[in-house]
C-alpha cells in the first residue's frame, strides 16, 4: 500500500489510466420522454423533410396570392369560387400559395390581400431531410425532443452509466451521496448509494455487490488508522493509484474490483466534489460516450493564486459580470454551497490574474 509520503500521481497520468480502463456501456432504447437528460448513443438524422409539403402556419383560407392582389375593404376582389378553409399544419391545396386570415374574406369577396407564401411554412423549413437531430455523445435536452418527435421518432438509443456509491466512515453520508447522485444524474447516469461500516471486509464486500458499471467509494481514503478504503479496494481487486496531485482531493484513488472501475473519493465535501469534477466526471463521460459541450470563458472578478506542482480546484460562482472565486481546499460549507462550478488550475500555473478569461467546469 502507498504511504502518505510517497509521490502523488499527476492528474493527467491518472486520467490516462482511467480512460484506458473504461469503455462505453451498452446502449439501450428509451421512449423519447424518458430519454431526456440521457446521452445519445448514436447520431440521428431526419429521414424526411418536416413538413414534407408546404403547409399552413395559421387557420384561414387557402388562396392564390396573385388572384387577390390589391384587395381591401374599399376595393374587394370577387373570387370565382369560395376558397377552401385550411387548419394550421395542414398541407396546402394545389394551386394555392398563401393563407388569408378569416377576417380577410366576406362571402366570396377578398377584403384583404396576402402575399405569396404568407402564412405558409415551406417543405423542409422545420427540418430538412438529412439534418442531424441529435449527435452521438450529446446530452438530450428538452428542445431536441421536439425535432425528434416531429421527424417521427418515438424512441432513442442512449447510454446510461450505473454508479454504485459506497459511503464509509462519514458523518452525514446520506447528504453527500445524495449530492453526488444528483451530479451523476445531471450527467446522464443513475446512482445507488449504500452506507457501510469503516471495516475493510465490509467495504470490500460492498465494492463487489450490486449491479453497476463503476463504483465510487466515498470516505476513508486517507492514511489515518480508521481509513480503510484503499486497503478494502486492494482486498477486493487492485489499487492503481492512491494519492493524486490534486488540491483538494490529494487522497483520491483509482483501481478496479469485480471487473469494474473504482474511484476513491475523500469524505470531506469540498474534496469529494473536487475529486468528482477531476476524476468522476471524466469517468462518467467515458462510460456514456459523452462529448464535452463547448466552453465559454469568462473573466475572473478576483485573482486566483495556486501552488506549482498540483492541479488546484477552485470553486466559483458565475455572475453576470464574470467569475467569482470562492476558494478551494478547506472551503467552509457555507461558501461551498454558493458554488455552481469550478476552475481547474493546471500544475504548471501559479494561478490567474484578475480579469483573465477562465473556463468553468459546471457542477
Q: How far apart are CA 108 and CA 99, in angstroms?
A: 15
Architecture of the CATH domain 298-362: Beta Barrel (2.40)
Task: Please give the mean pLDDT across all residues of the chain.
Answer: 93
How far is it, in rounded angstroms, from Cα 282 to Cα 274?
Answer: 12
Q: What is the mean pLDDT of residues 183-200?
A: 95
Q: Residue 225: what pLDDT?
A: 80
Strands 28-31 and 98-100: unpaired
Closest CA to 79 of 44, 43, 113: 113
Phi-psi region of 258 (alpha: psi -120 to 50; beta: other; left: phi over 0): left
Average pLDDT of span 220-240: 92
- Mean pLDDT, range 349-356, rounded to an integer: 95
Is pLDDT of 4 > 70?
Answer: no
Q: Which CATH class is domain 11-25+160-288?
A: alpha beta
The Cα 257–Cα 232 span in angstroms is 10
Residue 6: predicted pLDDT: 56
Percent of the chain having pLDDT more than 90?
90
pLDDT above 60 (res 71) = yes
Does 314 score more than 50 pLDDT? Answer: yes
pLDDT tens digits, one per residue of 123-156: 999 999 999 999 999 999 999 999 999 998 999 9
Cell of 269: 465535501
Q: How confident is the model at residue 1 (pLDDT cuts 50, 70, 90)?
A: very low
Over 70: is that where the pLDDT of 2 sits? no
- C-alpha atoms less than 13 angstroms from C-alpha of 37 in its C-beta half-sphere: 12
Q: Dihedral of the CA atoms 171, 177, 182, 186 (nearest 10)?
A: 130
Is residue 243 within 8 Å of residue 251, measured between CB atoms?
A: yes
Q: What pLDDT digit, counting tens, does each position of 266-307 carry? A: 999 999 999 999 999 999 999 999 998 777 899 999 999 998
Distance CA(263)–CA(241), nearest Å, equals: 9
Domain ranges of the chain: 11-25+160-288, 30-50+125-158, 55-121, 298-362
Q: Could you say which DSSP state residue 115 is in?
A: -
- Tens-digit pLDDT profile for residues 47-58: 899 999 999 999
- CATH code of the region 30-50+125-158: 3.90.105.10
Amino acid at each position: 500500500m502507498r504511504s502518505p509520503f510517497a509521490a502523488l500521481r499527476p492528474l493527467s497520468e491518472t486520467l490516462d489510466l482511467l480512460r484506458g480502463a473504461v469503455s462505453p456501456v451498452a446502449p439501450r432504447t428509451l421512449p423519447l420522454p424518458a430519454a431526456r437528460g440521457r446521452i445519445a448513443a448514436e447520431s440521428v438524422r431526419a429521414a424526411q423533410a418536416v413538413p414534407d409539403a408546404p403547409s399552413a402556419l395559421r387557420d384561414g383560407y387557402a388562396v392564390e396570392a396573385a388572384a387577390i392582389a390589391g384587395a381591401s375593404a374599399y376595393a374587394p376582389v370577387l373570387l370565382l369560387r369560395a376558397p377552401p378553409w385550411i387548419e394550421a399544419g395542414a398541407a396546402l391545396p394545389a394551386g394555392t400559395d398563401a393563407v388569408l386570415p378569416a377576417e380577410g374574406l366576406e362571402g366570396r369577396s377578398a377584403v384583404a390581400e396576402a402575399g405569396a407564401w404568407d402564412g405558409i411554412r415551406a417543405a423542409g423549413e422545420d427540418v430538412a431531410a438529412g439534418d442531424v437531430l441529435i449527435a452521438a455523445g450529446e446530452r438530450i435536452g428538452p428542445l431536441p425532443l421536439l425535432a425528434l418527435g416531429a421527424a417521427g421518432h418515438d424512441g432513442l438509443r442512449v447510454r446510461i452509466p450505473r454508479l454504485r456509491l459506497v459511503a464509509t466512515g462519514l458523518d452525514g453520508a446520506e447528504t453527500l451521496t445524495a449530492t453526488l447522485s444528483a451530479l451523476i444524474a445531471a450527467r446522464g447516469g443513475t446512482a445507488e448509494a449504500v452506507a457501510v461500516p469503516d471495516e475493510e471486509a465490509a467495504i470490500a464486500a460492498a465494492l463487489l455487490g450490486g449491479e453497476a458499471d463503476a463504483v465510487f467509494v466515498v470516505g476513508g481514503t486517507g492514511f489515518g488508522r480508521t481509513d480503510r478504503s484503499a486497503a478494502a479496494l486492494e482486498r477486493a481487486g487492485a489499487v492503481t493509484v492512491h494519492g493524486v496531485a490534486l488540491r483538494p482531493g490529494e487522497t483520491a484513488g483509482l483501481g478496479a474490483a469485480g471487473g469494474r472501475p473504482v474511484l476513491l473519493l475523500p469524505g470531506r465535501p469540498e474534496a469529494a466534489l473536487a475529486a468528482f469534477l477531476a476524476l468522476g466526471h471524466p469517468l462518467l463521460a467515458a462510460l456514456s460516450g459523452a462529448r464535452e459541450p463547448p466552453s465559454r470563458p469568462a473573466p475572473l472578478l478576483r485573482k486566483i493564486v495556486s501552488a506549482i506542482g498540483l492541479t488546484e480546484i477552485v470553486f466559483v460562482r458565475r455572475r453576470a459580470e464574470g467569475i467569482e472565486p470562492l476558494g478551494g481546499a478547506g472551503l467552509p460549507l457555507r461558501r461551498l454551497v454558493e458554488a455552481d462550478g469550478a476552475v481547474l488550475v493546471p500544475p504548471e500555473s501559479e494561478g490567474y490574474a484578475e480579469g483573465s478569461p477562465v473556463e468553468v467546469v459546471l457542477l
